[in-house]
Structure 1
Amino acid sequence: MRSFTAALLPILASTLGLGTLCGAAPAAAQRLAYETLDLDDTSLSGPGARRSRLMVSGGAVLDVSLPELTGREAAYGPFRVLDGARAALVDATGPRSPAQFSAMLRDYPGINVLEMVECPGTRDDLANLELGRLIRARGVATHVPSGGSVRSGGVELFLAGARRLADPGAEFAVHSWIDEDGLQPGDYALSAPVNRRYVDYYRHMGMSPLEAEAFYAMTNSVPFTQARWFGAGVMSLWVPFDGAAAPLAPDVRS
């Protein structure tokens, strides 16, 4: 697993580089603004850096409206209970995260919004996809507030929201995964189970087959040692957002 300190190198991506999948790219744009960070630069890695799908924040946001945490919130792994209707995700997910999420909803059944405050990724991709399916099955909305940061495996969790909300000033980042043998998505056929699990997940979250393959290609358009950063505006071209960023009433969700 790898952790690192980020310094952005801004670029304007002239195309998504998706080949025959470009027809399934965001409907409103074939030319999108991204920022790319080279994570292989040792100047960006602190002592003890480890391999992971975890990424630190990509840059400062001036207009920050993050939920205030007091340190007294009920904690369930990376989740913090903010009030009767909202919880926050403030750390990487891991193998126990699905059970921790279920326990939180058992104890606080009115929670229907997950505030994605600091989401650096996951230590267990399979558990992370299971968690995403739980979020969708329980009808929980995902909201990235201004200043919130959703990276790597955290993006799968954002997509899981029964409603998806992201404010101006939210940031997202994606990159290729890497397995224990050092292989990345391009080393396998798209039809291989290790790739299909992500495409199938995106379809489960509402994308068409072509949209799912195009989104997966975009996430893999930079290698594991780099990251592609973008804001809420670009993300909204890939998946629809759902109205104002306000919690649902606790009694709305069945």
Structure 2
Amino acid sequence: MRRFGCLALALAALISAPAGAQQLAYGEAAGLGPLSTQVATVTEVVEEEIVEEAGGAAAGSGRFVASSPVSGLAALPRGVARYGPFRVLDAGRAALVGPTDERSPAQFLAMLAAHPAIATLELVECPGTEDDRANLRLGRLIRARGLATHVPDGGSVRSGAVELFLAGVRHRAEAGAEFAVHAWADEDGREATDYPASAPENRAYIAYYREMGMSPAEAAAFYAMTNSVPNAQARWLTAAEMGQWVRQD
């Protein structure tokens, strides 16, 4: 897994520490049993429900943009319960705050098991992912469960989190939202353009975009755009610019 800068690690630590404690308390109150039992059960569901894509993202690959150049971003919601980077806002909405990792698909399913009426995922402060394979699995779960994705005014969707925005059965970004894209990098520092276009590592993303509703030409063009800048940099897009690539409802 890639090593990120101190800011990225601090963000992850800030988010994950209280999340575990609150998830345990809330899960037990909801009658789900201890957290270890919840995660074990949900992990079994993940294994049963998800058919792995052919090939797959490069082992150890991740995409993460730790900070945003825009000031005045959306306020981080507290929520009534936390499941890793997910925060339950009310009966019908949850928010994503922080990076996803290998635990996120199971945490997402645990949240929906306890709050089955959630229909919208608000992408508020989303710096990316530490595990691209798990992130694509999470995106497929979002689509399979029929959630809409919404980026509020001031919301920031960066790097691997863009795949989660695409996952919504409907997706919408307010005028003040921002997006950042760049190439993924594996644990050896190789990026998408270091692999043949036909390599499984590249085909996995094209296949994902096709599943999210893009035509073959749209999927190829969007993937090329995301890889137009190296992993160490980022290409920033407004909501309107993202709308040129992704149809919004």
TM-score, length-normalised on structure 2? Answer: 0.74
Matched, 1:59 2:69: yes
CA offsets 1:132-169 (integer angstroms, 9 cap, x no match): 00000000000000111000100000000011010011
Query: 1:3 offset after TM fit, Å?
Result: 3.5
- Partner secondary structure for residue 90 of structure 2: coil
The residue type paired with residue 167 of structure 1 is: E
- Quote the residue 1:79 is aligned against: 86
- Partner secondary structure for residue 176 of structure 1: coil
CA offsets 1:59-113 (integer angstroms, 9 cap, x no match): 2355x6x46623x620100000000000000010010100100110110000000
- Shift of the 164–131 alpha-carbon distance from structure 1 to 2, 3 Å rule, reads same
Report the RMSD for the aligned CA atoms in angstroms: 1.9
- Partner secondary structure for residue 117 of structure 1: strand
- Quote the residue 2:179 is aligned against: 172
- Quote the residue 1:27 is aligned against: none
Query: 1:181 offset after TM fit, Å?
Result: 1.8
Unpaired stretches in structure 2, ≥5 consecutive residues:
8-60
* Percent identity (aligned): 62
Match of 2:217 among 210, 227, 232: 210
Match of 1:199 among 206, 224, 228: 206
Match of 1:123 among 109, 122, 130: 130
Q: Distance in 1 between matches of 2:67 and 2:152?
A: 14
CA contact (8 A) 1:88 1:114 kept: yes
**1:96-245 to 2 correspondence within 5 Å?**
96-242=103-249
The residue type paired with residue 206 of structure 1 is: G
CA contact (8 A) 2:92 2:120 kept: yes
Q: Distance in 1 between matches of 2:134 and 2:233?
A: 23
- Partner secondary structure for residue 244 of structure 2: helix
CA contact (8 A) 1:3 1:52 kept: no
CA contact (8 A) 1:57 1:149 kept: no
CA contact (8 A) 1:55 1:120 kept: yes
Q: Distance in 2 between matches of 1:234 and 1:146?
A: 15
CA contact (8 A) 1:93 1:121 kept: yes
CA contact (8 A) 1:3 1:54 kept: no
Query: 1:227 offset after TM fit, Å?
Result: 0.5
CA contact (8 A) 2:100 2:135 kept: yes
Query: 1:52 offset after TM fit, Å?
Result: 5.3
- Shift of the 4–142 alpha-carbon distance from structure 1 to 2, 3 Å rule, reads farther
Unpaired stretches in structure 1, ≥5 consecutive residues:
6-50, 243-254
Q: Distance in 2 between matches of 1:223 and 1:67?
A: 30
Q: Which has the higher contact order (CA 8 A, sep 6+)?
A: 1
- Partner secondary structure for residue 104 of structure 1: helix
Q: Distance in 2 between matches of 1:67 and 1:55?
A: 19
Q: Distance in 2 between matches of 1:82 and 1:194?
A: 36
Q: Distance in 2 between matches of 1:151 and 1:115?
A: 14
The residue type paired with residue 124 of structure 1 is: D
| Structure (1 or 2) with the greater helix fraction | 2
- Shift of the 4–88 alpha-carbon distance from structure 1 to 2, 3 Å rule, reads same
